[in-house]
Structure 1
Amino acid sequence: MKKLEITKIERSSDLTVALERADVLWGSEQNTPEGDELERLVELIEAYESQHYPINSAAGLKDTDR
């Protein structure tokens, strides 16, 4: 399995590549090169998505739900 060197995700096209690679690596054993790569990709994907697609945790809640 060829390792990709994704060090940051700056645009949606980078995100697409990272998600496709994560899909290939999904299910990899922890503490292996593939598992480590998957872990790093997930961190990068989460960072990009939290910056570009923030989720307001209170969104959609009624005052009585809080």
Structure 2
Amino acid sequence: MDINPIKTDADHKNALREIDRLWTAPEGSPESDRLDMLVTLVEAYEQKRWPMEEEGDPVEIILAHMDVTGRTQADLANLLGSRSRASEILSRKRALTLEMIHKLHKEWGISANILVQPYKLDAA
């Protein structure tokens, strides 16, 4: 099992592709072990490359990330599947699902540890 350090954005992108491929690996398998190691390496690289304050809730982090990277609500809608879903997330009317968290982590590089934090939703 060859695993190399992640030193560049290209290495990071390749590791994310490999994580996506291994995401459903059976627990306890060599592929699952590889997945665990890659996730650890990716998280370490992301913390070093794109340090983010762990203060703030997931919606604030998403908004800050969008601001820093020049992404728009339309980009979020494309990632999450619909404009209404993106709007509901950003207006705190809908909570992030595990699938959304995975997509935000995989595609935008936002730490899953930040995205899984509980946050307050606005009453409808």
- What range is the shorter-chain TM-score in? 0.7 to 0.9
Q: How many residues align?
A: 57
Q: How many Å separate the matches in 1 of 2:29 and 2:54?
A: 35
Show structure 2 runs of 5+ residues with no match: 61-124
Q: What one-letter code is carried by the residue in structure 2 that aligns with 1:47?
A: A
Kindly indicate whether the alpha-carbon contact (under 8 Å) linking 1:6 and 1:18 is maintained by their aligned counterparts in 2: no
Show structure 1 runs of 5+ residues with no match: 61-66
Higher fraction of helix: 2
SS in 1 for 2:13: helix
TM-score by length of 1: 0.76
Query: Which has the bigger relative contact order, CA under 8 A and spacing at least 6?
Result: 1
Structure 1 segments, 4+ long, off by >4 Å, are none
Identity %: 35
Corresponding residue for residue 33 of structure 2 = 36
TM-score by length of 2: 0.42
